[in-house]
């Protein structure tokens, strides 16, 4: 195994008002998932936040569950946790790529998500990365979500979605009265 390299870690964000995160975990490898969750919970609590947790069957369901929660709940951010260990088939590539793509697409829509889906070659790698006393990737994913929430609060009120917003009825009426046929 390669020698551990030191990485810069951003200082923990501070919040004027509390944050609430949803931890979405795929406990396919239960012991590994439990360690990821422990790290995430500790990081959220250290920042003064609260959390709820839901379980889904596997890593592919993580983005879907986050999308549902965003539409139907009131969370400030999300922590996606799971583990995919390479097997004998290409299913590993599909699960790694598609779960990551789903999380990325949700993030591009403005959701504050920390991606803690481990994609590893073997169980030993997963155990080190999940352990809160070692690599603590669950804590790192929670920290990422917290930093994104802090950015969103710094830059103003949240808006749902990204891109063009439909004109309001008030604007449409005002535009039509000014002789604008496209309003």
pTM for this model (two decimals):
0.83
Mean pLDDT of the 76-83 span: 98
pLDDT at residue 48 is higher than 50: yes
Quick: pLDDT tens for 3-43: 668 889 999 999 999 999 999 999 999 999 999 999 999 99
Taking 70 as the threshold, does the pLDDT of residue 162 lie above it? no
Q: Looking at 12, 30, 91, 123, which residue is catalytic?
A: 91
Query: Any idea where the domains of the chain sit in the sequence?
Result: 20-177
What's the order of all strands across the beta sheet hosting 113-120?
A: 50-55, 20-25, 77-85, 113-120
CATH architecture of 20-177: 3-Layer(aba) Sandwich (3.40)
Is 32 strand, coil or helix?
helix
The rounded distance, in Å, linking the Cα atoms of 25 and 56 is 6
In the residue annotation, 147 being an active-site residue is answered as no
């Amino acid at each position: 195994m390669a020698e551990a390299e030191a990485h810069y870690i951003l200082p923990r964000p501070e919040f004027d008002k509390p944050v609430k995160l949803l931890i979405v975990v795929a406990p396919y490898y239960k012991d590994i998932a439990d360690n990821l969750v422990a790290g995430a919970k500790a990081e959220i609590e250290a920042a003064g936040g609260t959390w709820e947790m839901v379980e889904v069957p596997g890593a592919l369901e993580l983005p879907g569950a986050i999308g549902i929660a965003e539409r139907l709940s009131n969370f400030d951010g999300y922590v996606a946790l799971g583990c995919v260990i390479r097997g004998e088939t290409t299913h590993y590539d599909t699960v790694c790529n598609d779960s990551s793509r789903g999380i990325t697409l949700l993030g591009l829509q403005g959701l504050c998500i920390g991606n803690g889906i481990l994609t590893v070659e073997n169980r030993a790698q997963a155990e080190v990365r999940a352990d809160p006393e070692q690599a603590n990737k669950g804590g790192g994913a929670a920290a990422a979500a917290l930093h994104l929430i802090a950015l969103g609060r710094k830059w103003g009120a949240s808006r749902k979605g990204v891109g063009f917003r439909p004109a309001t009825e008030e604007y449409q009426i005002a535009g039509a009265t000014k002789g604008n046929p496209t309003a």
